[in-house]
Chains A and B, each alone.
Chain A
Amino acid sequence: MELTPGSWLLSFLPILTVVILMLLFKWGALRASAMSWLVAAAVSLIAFGGSWLILAWSQVKALVLAGNLLVIVWGALLLYSLASEGGSIRAIALFIPRLSNDRSIQLLLIAWLLTSFLQGQGGFGVAVAVCAPILVGMGYDPILSIVMTTIGHGWAVSFGGMASAFESLIAVTHVPGILIAPYAAILFGLSFVPTGVIITLLGTGWKGVRHAFPAILAVSLTMGTSLYLLNSQGFWSLSTIGPSLVGIATLVLLTRLPGYQGTKTAVANGDHELHPRDLLVHLTPYILLVVIGFAVTLIRPLNAFLNQVSISLQYPEIVSGLGFVTPAESSPVIHPFSHPATVLLVTSLLSYIVLKHEGMLDHTSPRRLLSLTSHNVVGASLGMIVMAGVSTIMTHTGMTSTLARGIAETINRVIYPVVVPFVGVIGAFLTGTNNNSNILFGALQAEAAGLMKLNVPLILAAQNAGGSMGSVMSPTKLIVSCITVGLGGQEGKVLRKLIGYGLIPITVIAIATGIWSWLLGGGA
Chain B
Amino acid sequence: MSLNKETKKFRINLLILVIEVLLPFVLLYALRNDYTLLGRITSAILVLGIIYLVVFK
Contacts and interface: CB of A to CB of B under 8 A. Distances in A.
A486 to B, nearest CB: 14
Nearest to A31: B57
A99 B37 CA distance: 66
Interface stretch (A34-42, A161-169, A207-215, A341-349): A34-42
B18 to A, nearest CB: 10
B13 A31 contact: no
Interface string B4-26: 00100010011011001100110
A362 to B, nearest CB: 21
Contacts of A386: 20, 50, 53
Given A375-B10, A382-B13, A382-B20, A53 B51 contact: no
A472 to B, nearest CB: 24
Contacts of A158: none
A378 B17 contact: yes
A60 B46 CA distance: 12
B45 interface: no
Please give me the 3 A-B residue pairs with the lowest Cβ-Cβ distance, nearest first. A59-B24, A34-B53, A31-B57
Interface string A379-404: 10110011000000000000000000
A81 to B, nearest CB: 15
B50 A60 contact: no
A28 interface: yes
A55 B27 CA distance: 9
A57 interface: yes
Contact of A60 (B10, B28, B39): B28
A302 interface: no
B1 interface: no
- A interface, over-half SS: helix
26 contacts: A27-B57, A30-B53, A34-B51, A37-B50, A38-B50, A38-B51, A52-B43, A53-B31, A55-B43, A56-B27, A56-B28, A56-B43, A57-B28, A59-B24, A59-B27, A63-B24, A375-B6, A378-B10, A378-B17, A381-B17, A382-B16, A382-B20, A385-B17, A385-B20, A386-B50, A489-B57
Given A52-B39, A59-B46, A386-B20, A28 B28 contact: no
A41 B47 contact: yes
Interface in A61-106: 62-63
A29 to B, nearest CB: 10
A389 to B, nearest CB: 8
Given A52-B39, A378-B13, A60 B24 contact: yes
A60 B53 CA distance: 19
Contacts of A52: 27, 31, 39, 43
A56 B53 contact: no
Interface residues of B, number: 23
Contacts of B10: 374-375, 378
Contacts of A374: 10
Contacts of A34: 50-51, 53-54, 57
Nearest to B15: A378
Which range contains the number of A residues in contact with the other chain? 20 to 34
Interface of B: 6, 10, 13-14, 16-17, 20-21, 24-25, 27-28, 31-32, 39, 43, 46-47, 50-51, 53-54, 57
B8 to A, nearest CB: 12
Contacts of B6: 375
Interface string A4-34: 0000000000000000000000011011001
B27 A30 contact: no
Given A53-B32, A374-B10, 6 more contacts: A30-B53, A31-B57, A34-B53, A59-B20, A378-B14, A386-B20
Given A38-B54, A55-B43, A382-B53, A63 B31 contact: no
Nearest to B53: A34
B27 A31 contact: no
A63 B21 contact: yes
Contacts of A63: 21, 24
Interface in A478-501: 489
A385 B53 contact: no
B11 to A, nearest CB: 9
B21 A385 contact: yes
Contacts of B21: 63, 385
A381 B54 CA distance: 16
A55 B20 CA distance: 12
Given A378-B10, A382-B20, A56 B50 contact: no
Contacts of B13: 378-379, 382
A52 B44 CA distance: 11
A52 B41 CA distance: 12
B27 A28 contact: no
A118 B13 CA distance: 30
A385 B51 CA distance: 15
Q: Which of B13, B50, B51 has the most CB of A within 10 A?
A: B50
A321 B6 CA distance: 44
A31 B55 CA distance: 8
B39 to A, nearest CB: 6
B42 to A, nearest CB: 8
Contacts of B20: 59, 382, 385-386
